[in-house]
Amino acid sequence: MLVANRDNVGRILGVNGVFGNVGVAFSALMAGALAQYAGWRAAFIVPGTIAVGVGVAFALPRARS
C-alpha cells in the first residue's frame, strides 16, 4: 500500500517509519480516552470503523492520470 505507484520509495518508507511509531504510541492514549468518555465499546468500535473505512477507500478504483 505504501509503495504502490510511488517514485521515491525510500522517503515514503522513512516517513511511514516515523509517523507509524507515533501512531502506535498515540493509539493507547486514544483508546483510553474513548473508554473513559464514551465507554469501553467505543474504544473498539470507533478505531475499527475508521480502519474499515480507510481499507475500503484504498480498495476503490482511483482515476489514473
* Annotated domain spans of the chain: 9-59
Report the pLDDT value the prediction gives residue 63, as an integer from 0 to 100.
Answer: 63
pLDDT by residue for the chain (65 residues), tens only, comes to: 777 787 888 888 888 888 888 888 898 999 999 999 999 999 999 999 999 999 999 888 876 65
Report the pLDDT value the prediction gives residue 31, as an integer from 0 to 100.
Answer: 93
Report the pLDDT value the prediction gives residue 32, as an integer from 0 to 100.
Answer: 95
Report the pLDDT value the prediction gives residue 14, as an integer from 0 to 100.
Answer: 87
Q: How many whole angstroms separate alpha carbon 12 and alpha carbon 19?
A: 11
Name 32's Cβ contacts closer than 8 Å, sequence gap at least 6.
Answer: 43
CA distances from 62 to 30, 36, 58, 65 (A): 31, 38, 9, 9
Report the pLDDT value the prediction gives residue 64, as an integer from 0 to 100.
Answer: 60
